[in-house]
């Protein structure tokens, strides 16, 4: 099962929208979904490792695959492509 991590901050309206979309997609199954708060040590470490300046950011199996807010259709397409071994 692929690991999907969404890097977010509580203070960001965009992050709240992205989290809602990704939680809905995760409920459909097929992914191990986790929200990572960038204001916590683990989130800060990921931001540094990936040299990110923008959130929300989406990681699949530890690799950055998207930044910003996706709609449900785009999110599902990202999952489908990742499952086939290709990344958008």
For the stretch 39-79, pLDDT in tens is: 999 999 999 999 999 999 999 999 999 999 999 999 999 99
- Interior/surface letters 47-67, b for 16+ CB within 10 angstroms, e for the rest: beeeebeebbbbbbeeebbbb
Residue 64: per-residue pLDDT: 97
Residue 8: per-residue pLDDT: 98
Do residues 8 and 17 make contact, with C-beta atoms less than 8 angstroms apart? Answer: no
Which has more pLDDT, 85 or 4? 4
Phi-psi region of 29 (alpha: psi -120 to 50; beta: other; left: phi over 0): left
pTM for the predicted model, two decimal places: 0.92
Residue 25: per-residue pLDDT: 95
How buried is 75 (Cβ within 10 angstroms: 0-12 exposed, 13-18 middle, 19+ buried)?
A: buried
Residue 87: per-residue pLDDT: 47
For the stretch 14-40, pLDDT in tens is: 999 999 999 999 999 889 999 999 999
* Domains located in the chain, CATH noted: 2-83 (3.40.30.10)
């Amino acid at each position: 099962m692929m690991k999907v991590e969404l890097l977010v901050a509580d203070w960001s309206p965009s992050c709240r929208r992205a989290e809602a979309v990704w939680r809905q997609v995760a409920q459909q199954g097929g992914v191990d979904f986790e929200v990572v708060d960038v204001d916590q040590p683990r989130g800060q470490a990921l931001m540094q490792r990936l040299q990110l300046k923008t959130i929300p950011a989406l990681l699949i199996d530890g690799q950055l695959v998207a930044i910003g807010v996706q709609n449900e259709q785009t999110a599902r397409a990202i999952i489908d492509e990742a499952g086939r071994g290709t990344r958008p």
